[in-house]
Amino acid sequence: MKLQILYEDNHLIAVYKPAGALIQGDETGDHSLMDDVKEFIKERDKKPGNVFLGLIHRLDQPVQGIVLFAKTSKGASRLAEQFREHKVRKIYHAVVEGVPPEIKGKVVNFLSKDRVRNKTSVHKKEQEGSKRAELSYKMLQSDGKRSLVAIYPITGRPHQIRAQLAELGCPIVGDIKYGARAPLPDKSVALAATGLTFHLATKDEEKTLDVDIPRAWKDFIKS
């Protein structure tokens, strides 16, 4: 996989994750984005032995967009703290089926994850083992059948955006796990992490990364 590097300093590296790529190796043994980044750093910098790379946050396999890794333990701990304290601002874009109930709004639910089925359930009230999930959204475009939506998650729960949009009656295009009508040919879902704002690990400086909405999505909504 050819890496698309979006940002790099001594402590952090941000890359673009294609839809379908595993972010971290699992029991399948399939190659992952972390493997590719480690190999890139090892070869470029001619590093002997293993390369340290910390996973700070995740994107689901069918989702594409910005992923930030730590190249040092200091970078890992400081950025993990920012994510944990909700100091990192994240923007996603999605094409959903249908039209959201409002042009813009806030969604608050309680989510529980079934790890056997790898699926998140949405509850209106707190349940045993559930966690509060909050996001806001803004509809940018719609043809009445599908809509382009910007999403601003406050919390970062597993499958949060996918589950909460489906609960609104607007499953993400291609996301059959959460009620979409049909899969996409490449088994991706029309969800991308398009913006990330954070503080650098060793400087009092804010960094914002942005990427464009995938061009293929233009075919999802009729002009």
| Candidates 60, 210, 212, 219; catalytic one | 60
Residue 81 makes CB contacts below 8 A (sequence gap 6+) with: none
* Residues forming beta bridges with residue 120, ordered by sequence position: 113
* Residues forming beta bridges with residue 196, ordered by sequence position: 90, 209
CA–CA distance, 44 with 47 (Å, rounded to integer): 8
CA–CA distance, 90 with 14 (Å, rounded to integer): 14
Q: Are 12 and 69 in contact (CB under 8 A)?
A: yes
State yes or no: is 204 an active-site residue: no
Residue that is written with structure tokens 């990330």 in the block = 196
For the annotated catalytic residues, the residue numbers are: 60
